[in-house]
Structure 1
């Protein structure tokens, strides 16, 4: 498959003429979900789910797989094309095999209630955890690594990378990292993560 990084936590995957988009949110490009055959959404936070962009993709013929809190906002207008999934489910979307792992968003603060969050393992090789440090019970070739968030610190990201032990990690959830800070993240993750680590600029692609 070919992976194209979009801004923040959104990626586009292409295979055999089909396109799968994960987490087209408000920090991503306006056209992040344009032309998608299928859209996966990990949770309801606006940096992962922009309702207008997803509705535009649905209107153009896309299908959506997501958790209940997001599906309830979309399914009435698009019956049969918005599917609710959760931990342990498996399905095929636009020709990609997908397994669902995880149930809860990472803890932001103990005083804030935790929302649901699911991660997607695509074609048994690429894992997008959303806003959680979920370790799937399956080997991961490519981990889309959330490198910076209000709910994490670099030591936790390093430990997560070590625990998943992917063949490679590619940064996501990185829109708030300044250019000054990026070399710090690159150094720590590259030296301590014990896995091949890299990042793609928005719009840059890699064949996996």
Structure 2
């Protein structure tokens, strides 16, 4: 499995000649020329995790690609056919196995509605919780995509989350809201928390890949 990080929370996962895209949102450069896409996972409805433009460009070249997301995504993206998933669901879409966890976005503020959110474990290898700190209980997480900066988190919570999951590998996502200095600080904290459990941190930048 090859994972290529894009800006913010967008991931491109390639395996056996097929492609899975996660959270192609407004902070991610428009994805063009994507081929062999079998599925798109949208963790929740906020626009930094999906846009109609992104979906249209992907589906134009991959009309049979399926979209998976929670009920809130299906409502927000009503112009698209979204297969609704929730925590506890498992979907097989060759060559990928997708296991979903959680159900709600982390609280930003009491005045802001809490929306549906799912985490996804891909091929029992890569776990990404969307905008949440949902831990997949009873499941080993070899590789963790770690949220690095957002209005719903503070770095101490991120460190506690990484320590609790104890992945063998981690890399940062959701960091387009950070300055250069803030990103460096966040990376250092995520690295320290990963190393507590004996794992290795990979400070991936947009366009960089890791083979799992």
TM-score, normalised relative to structure 1? 0.92
**1:66 alignment partner, one of 53, 66, 69:** 69
Are the aligned partners of 1:67 and 1:117 in contact in 2 as well (CA < 8 Å)? yes
- 2:97 aligned with 1:97, yes or no? yes
Q: Would the aligned equivalents of 1:21 and 1:33 in 2 still touch at CA under 8 Å?
A: no
3-state SS of 2:171 partner? strand
- The offset of 1:32, in angstroms, is 6.4
What is the distance in 1 between the residues matched to 2:185 and 2:60?
42
In 1, Cα distance between equivalents of 2:159 and 2:66: 34
Q: What runs of 5+ residues in structure 1 fail to find an aligned partner?
A: none
Kept in 2, the 8 Å contact 1:43–1:130? The answer is yes
Aligned to 1:181: 182
The answer to whether the Cα contact below 8 Å between 2:34 and 2:58 also exists between their aligned partners in 1 is: yes
1:196 and 2:200 correspond: yes
- The farther-off stretch of 82-91 and 6-15 is 82-91
Deviations 1:25-50 (A, max 9, x none): 00011016833221000000000011
Counterparts of 1:134-173 in structure 2 under 5 Å? 134-137=134-137, 138-173=139-174
CA distance in 1, matches of 2:33, 2:90: 22
Structure 1 runs (4+) deviating above 6 angstroms are: none
1:113 paired with 2:113, answer yes
Partner of 1:207: 211
Q: Matches of 1:91 and 1:76 in 2, distance apart?
A: 22
Answer yes or no: is the 8 Å Cα contact 1:58–1:64 preserved in 2: no
CA distance in structure 1 between the partners assigned to 2:168 and 2:18 by the alignment: 25
Aligned to 2:131: 131
Please name the residue that 1:25 is paired with: 25
Distance 1:203 1:160, change over 3 A: same
How many Å apart are 1:95 and its aligned residue? 1.4
Give distance in 2, aligned partners of 1:134 and 1:77: 27
